[in-house]
Amino acid sequence: MNAKTNDLAALEADLSARIASASDEAALDAVRVDALGKQGAISALMKTLGAMSPDERQAMGPKLNGLKDRVGEAIVAKRAALAEAALEARLASEMVDVSLPARPVRVGAIHPVSQVQEELARIFGEMGFALEEGPDIETDFNNFTALNFPPKHPAREMHDTFFLKPDEKGERKVLRTHTSPVQVRTMLKQKPPIRMICMGRTYRKDSDATHTPMFHQIEGLVIDEKTTMADLKGTLMAFIKAYFEVDDVDVRFRPHHFPFTEPSAEMDVRCDRSGGQVRIGQGDDWLEILGCGMVHPNVLKNCGVDPEKYQGYAFGMGVDRLAILKYGMPDLRDFFGSDARWLKHYGFSPYLTAGLAGGIA
């Protein structure tokens, strides 16, 4: 009896030690099989109960059951501890330190045209101009007729127009040759006062270092009861200062002709070309930068605006050219060459917003 009790104590000590030292689920399961499996040591002892005398059984039964329960509980507890340790280890190995600085990856860049358009929208936006839009494929009426180009007038051809095939009704659409048709669209849908800009693609049959068949323009239109050339000049000077980030700028207006403005002018800004670089604002040279004028009364009439009551001014300029003057690309054709190296060099970080460092004077 004593011997048996000692055997049980030794067995329990041995099993406890093996449970404690089991380093993983498989080792622990091996102990469980050795102790409590069909052929296990405790199971074998339980089988001997049947052959015992009632007294012996009464004495041994509770001991064996106690042993079986304690070993079973120890295994369950150890299994839980192993699972928790495994989870801790996994959490530790998969931890991400979100406070570490990110590696700067620059996979793309903002195209200079997009960047400049953003700058223009901001500058004119601060001056109270609303942004309007129009389609690239325009009616002949919007692109020419409403803008006071007489029918069959050579000016239509002067624009090096891309004409589309006539539709069933014989109407011949065009790829818009300028953004001025958006003046027409805006006046037709909105009552004055009007103060809008429009930016977008324009098309002319032309290709050299300073011309591409597709290019970009920005258009401005102001219609009110009292608007003058002086307002036009003030607006454009404020724009030039803000865009080129210069404090002082000298401009001059040269008489010009556009069918849709009267009087019409081209505006030059003073610049300095010494040192192989164009510096805007001051200097001995002049740079032509845009076309402008007072909206022709015929255009107002064509767009349902009473020329006796309203007048206005308009201006238009090349966005790509503005980009070249500010950021110094040598050839306009590269803008649309889809060369990733060019874009990497002249493109802008998407993380930077269009700067207005100079502010609006």
Considering the complex, what minimum distance in angstroms separates the CB of residue 284 from ligand PHE?
Answer: 27
Binding window for ligand PHE (CB under 6 A); candidates: 64-72, 117-125, 286-294, 334-342: 286-294
Binding window for ligand PHE (CB under 6 A); candidates: 88-96, 236-244, 246-254, 309-317: 309-317
Binding window for ligand PHE (CB under 6 A); candidates: 20-28, 110-118, 150-158, 287-295: 287-295
Q: Find the binder of ligand PHE among 198, 300, 314, 325 (CB under 6 A).
A: 314
Task: Say how far residue 170 (Cα) sits from the centre of its chain.
Answer: 42
Binding flag, residue 292, ligand PHE (CB under 6 A) = yes
Considering the complex, what minimum distance in angstroms separates the CB of residue 235 from ligand PHE?
Answer: 13
Binding flag, residue 293, ligand PHE (CB under 6 A) = yes
Binding flag, residue 316, ligand PHE (CB under 6 A) = yes
Binding flag, residue 112, ligand PHE (CB under 6 A) = no
**Residue 188 CB contacts under 8 Å (≥ 6 apart), including other chains:** 303, 304
Binding flag, residue 144, ligand PHE (CB under 6 A) = no
331-335: which pairs have CB atoms within 8 A and are 24 or more residues apart? Answer: 331/209, 332/209, 332/210, 332/211, 332/212, 332/215, 333/207, 333/209, 333/212, 335/111, 335/112, 335/113, 335/212
Q: Find the binder of ligand PHE among 117, 143, 148, 180 (CB under 6 A).
A: 180
**Nearer Cβ to ligand PHE (64/292):** 292
Binding window for ligand PHE (CB under 6 A); candidates: 79-87, 208-216, 244-252, 308-316: 308-316
Residue 163, beta-bridge partner list: 174
**What is the secondary structure of 50-90 as a DSSP string?**
GGS-HHHHHHHHHHHHHHHHHHHHHHHHHHHHHHHHHHHHH
d(CA 144, CA 259): 9
Considering the complex, what minimum distance in angstroms separates the CB of residue 217 from ligand PHE?
Answer: 6
SS3 state at 211: strand
Considering the complex, what minimum distance in angstroms separates the CB of residue 178 from ligand PHE?
Answer: 3
**What is the secondary structure of 148-201 as a DSSP string?**
TPPTT-HHHHHTT--BPPP-TT----EE-SSSTHHHHHHHHHSPSPEEEEEEEE
Q: Site residues (CB under 6 A) for ligand PHE?
A: 178, 180, 219, 258, 261, 291-293, 314-316
